[in-house]
Amino acid sequence: MPERSIKIAPSILSADFANFGQEIRAVEAQGADWIHVDVMDGHFVPNLTFGPPLVKAIRPHISTVMDVHLMIAPVDPYIDAFAEAGSDIITAHLEAGPHIHRTLQAIRAAGCKAGLALNPGTGLADMAYLLDMVDLVCVMAVNPGFGGQKFIHSQVDKVRRLREMIGDRPIQIEIDGGITPDTAPLMAAAGADVLVAGSAVFKGGSVADPAPYGENIRRIREAADAAL
């Protein structure tokens, strides 16, 4: 067993939207470590998903960790609603507004772990004064907005440099977008702790036939662990 173990966080963006509760229970039974919930506003990203009422409705179906990724701007007016919906982690984008420092403070004040997400085009320099206020950094390996996009390889080097910047701080590095058994080992070797995967987890399975979810998770996990 490797010393560090990689967590797999299926994104329900690739689940059956008419069956979130069953999909979540199925994917957890098949080995998911966290459930990743993608909130999109049609403004910060060119796609719309759902808001706090749906997040609250799925909460009782999650027995692991509810990892809420906000692709919205502004963020601050909605933090309390997502915290009250039962989020364990709330991740906001560095690019979502001029006051990300305040946003991260507000997430922790609401009782949640604070995540900071970076778009592929965003560098690490602006994070220097934020590192002591985050529990997780989410490196996007696709431009946010859609599942099933192609992995952007330049982000592997970003993760390597981020790992160095973090040093011994208790911050988890999460990778979101384009994760497959081929790309997972690159990010694991570079320093990732948590791999979000949507299309690569849900493909081939369904609530009626969830075994492929387990096989897909196992293949990503094995490829990642082998690179540690």
CB nearer ligand DX5, residue 22 or residue 47: 47
Distance CA 28, CA 203 (A): 15
23 interacts with Zn ion by CB under 5 A = no
Q: Please report how close the Cβ of residue 141 comes to Zn ion at its closest, in angstroms.
A: 11
Where in 151-180 is the site for Zn ion (CB under 5 A)? 176
Q: Judged by CB, which is closer to ligand DX5: 72, or 85?
A: 72
For ligand DX5 (CB under 6 A), the number of binding residues is 22
The least CB distance from residue 74 to ligand DX5, in Å, is 18
Tell me the residue type at 27: V
At closest approach, how far in Å is the CB of 79 from ligand DX5?
18
Q: Counting contacts by CB under 5 A, is residue 221 touching Zn ion?
A: no
Side chain identity, residue 90: I
* Contact pattern from residue 64 through residue 83 relative to Zn ion, giving x for each residue in contact according to CB under 5 A and a dash for the rest: -----x--------------
Is residue 198 a contact point for ligand DX5 (CB under 6 A)? yes
Q: Least Å distance between CB 151 and Zn ion?
A: 14
6 counts as binding ligand DX5 under rule CB under 6 A? no
Please enumerate in sequence order all residues whose Cβ is within 8 A of that of 139, keeping only pairs 6 or more positions apart, or say none: 117, 118, 155, 158, 159, 162, 173, 174, 175, 176, 192
Regarding 41 and contact with Zn ion (CB under 5 A), the answer is: no
Q: Is 7 in the site for Zn ion (CB under 5 A)?
A: no
Binding track, positions 9-48, relative to ligand DX5; x by CB under 6 A: --x-xx---------------------x-x----------
Residue 31 Cα distances to 174, 189, 205, 219, angstroms: 18, 22, 14, 11
Q: Which residues are catalytic?
A: 38, 176
Binding-site member from 24, 33, 35, 69 for ligand DX5 (CB under 6 A)? 69
Residues at the site binding ligand DX5, with contacts judged by CB under 6 A: 11, 13-14, 36, 38, 69, 142, 144-149, 176-179, 196-200
Residues at the site binding Zn ion, with contacts judged by CB under 5 A: 38, 69, 176
